[in-house]
Every structure is written in C-alpha cells, then in structure tokens.
Amino acid sequence: MTYKKLATAILALSLAAPGLHAQTAPAASAAPAANAVDPASIQALKDMGAHLQTLTRFQVSTELTGERVLADGQKLQHSAAAELKVHRPNMLRARMVSARSEREIFYDGKTVTLFTPAQKYYSTVEFTDNIGGLINKLEERYGVDIPLADLFLWGTPAAPLDKIDSAMNAGQDFIDGDLCNHYAFRQGIFDWQIWITTGSKPLPRKLVITNRADEARPQSVSYMDWNLKPTFKDAVFKFTPPKGSTAVELRPQAQK
C-alpha cells in the first residue's frame, strides 16, 4: 500500500511522529458497522489520485515529524523536511534535510544522481523511465526512498484500494487555511488519516500514520504545501558536480 512507502521514507529520514491525542469516535459509532468500508471515503481517495495524475509541473514541500520508541517504551520525537520539484513524466529533483543528514536526488530523464552535500559524494546511474519507474528502481535495487513517493502512485494500479479494512469520513478541518475533508483508514497493522482539500481539485495536505504493531503506537505526521505554478527552469533537474566533489559507485543492495 502506498502509505507504507511514505512511512518508510519518513523512517529513513529518522522520523516518527508527534504524540497526537487519538480522536475518540462517538459512543454511538463505537461498534463496527456491518460494512466498515465507507464507499464515499474510498471514492475520495480515487478522486484525489486522479487529480494528482493530471499535475505535470509542480513543487511540493513537506514538514515531517516522527517518533522513535526506545526499549523501555519512551518516545523520542524527530523532525525533517523535504522538497520536490517535478516536471512529468520524467524529471524530478528532491531535497531531504534532517539534523542527521542531507541528501538530494536529481533526475533529468536520462540519468539519476544521488548527492550528499556534507561529504560531497555523488553517484550517477543511467535511467530512462518515468518517475514511477524511478521510484521503484531506487527502492528495489538500491534501497533508496524518495519522499512523498505516494504522490506519483495514488491514482495508478500501483496503489490498489481493495485491501483496506475500514474507511470513514471524520469530518472537516482547516489545514493552514485550506478547508479539508478528513478521512481515516485501517489496513493490516497501520492506521492512517489523510486531509484532502475540498472542491474539484483535491490535494493531500496532511497525512498521519500510526503503527499498531507496536504497543507504543508510534506515529508519523507530514504536512504538504503545494505550488502548482512554479517558476523553476528545467536546468534544476540536471546535476553539475560541485568543485571538490567525489564520484562514488552506487551499489545495489543485497537481495534477500
């Protein structure tokens, strides 16, 4: 499921989430309904995914927080940020920053480059697929996660919605001034909530993921800010090695 990819990317940045207070359902709705999957909530995900697939040139940034649970159950909160510049079908630049690391990914449709500014190391691999193909290759072959990868998978066969155990509309909230519909889903060991802007052009503005496999219920939280009329040039997708940088081999991860 795509939300799991996003959770993995958050954890890769040493995140985990703030201790949000769980929202308690009204007593009248405490007992599970005969059909716990609300079709309208599933349709909302489909509509959002369909709209995301229409975006060709955009910029999106996210503030991420997360929790790491110690052996004694104490939670430690961490934070990070990421920014994506995108020109579909095959150009992307991603920058991920936390207190522990900083890395960038450049993809110009012909080569993909991973760069760590602190060490001035970079690795370049030839590649000529769309962004969805890039996401899959980096994850499966090299163990590299692109933040907000779900944005390129929602609305495609890579993000099926038929395995969701429960889905509900949790009302409306404002996220930075944008009125959003709030939905809650459960699948397997994960609970996840998403806030989607109202109207004919639905965009995800907030995502919360809770891991129920851990008794401490660690969460990850991300807020997304969108710019659908960016001013960047295509030159931002091409990597030029800075002076003093060193090329290193990007080695495939060991197959399990």
Q: Look at residue 255 and tell me if it is in a domain.
A: no
What is the domain-level CATH number for residue 11? 2.50.20.10
Q: Look at residue 28 and tell me if it is in a domain.
A: no
What pTM value is reported for the model? 0.84
Residue 172 has pLDDT above 80, yes or no: yes
- Output DSSP code: residue 71: T
Of 74, 35, 78, 86, the C-alpha closest to 227 is 86
Q: How many domains does the chain have?
A: 1
E strands, the chain, where?
57-69, 75-87, 91-98, 102-107, 111-116, 121-126, 166-175, 178-187, 190-197, 204-211, 219-227, 246-247
Read off the pLDDT of each residue in 208-213 and give the average, rounded to a whole number: 95
Residue tagged 């397997």 (tokens)? 188
Read off the pLDDT of each residue in 221-235 and give the average, rounded to a whole number: 97
List pLDDT tens digits, range 71-130.
999 999 999 999 999 999 999 999 999 988 999 999 999 999 999 999 999 999 999 999
List pLDDT tens digits, range 180-195.
999 999 999 999 999 9
pLDDT for residue 7:
42
pLDDT for residue 24:
30
Confidence of residue 179 (pLDDT cuts 50, 70, 90): very high
What is the domain extent for residue 13? 2-18+37-246
> Rounded to an integer, what distance in angstroms lies between the CA atom of residue 64 and that of residue 82?
8
Q: Look at residue 252 and tell me if it is in a domain.
A: no
Q: Spell out the alpha helix ranges (H) of the chain.
A: 2-12, 39-52, 131-142, 150-153
> Rounded to an integer, what distance in angstroms lies between the CA atom of residue 149 and that of residue 134?
10
Give the phi and the psi of residue 134 in degrees, each rounded to 5: -60, -45
Q: Look at residue 240 and tell me if it is in a domain.
A: yes
In this structure, how many other beta carbons lie within 10 angstroms of the beta carbon of residue 166?
A: 16
- Output DSSP code: residue 78: E
Decide: 93 and 226 in contact? Cβ < 8 Å. Answer: no
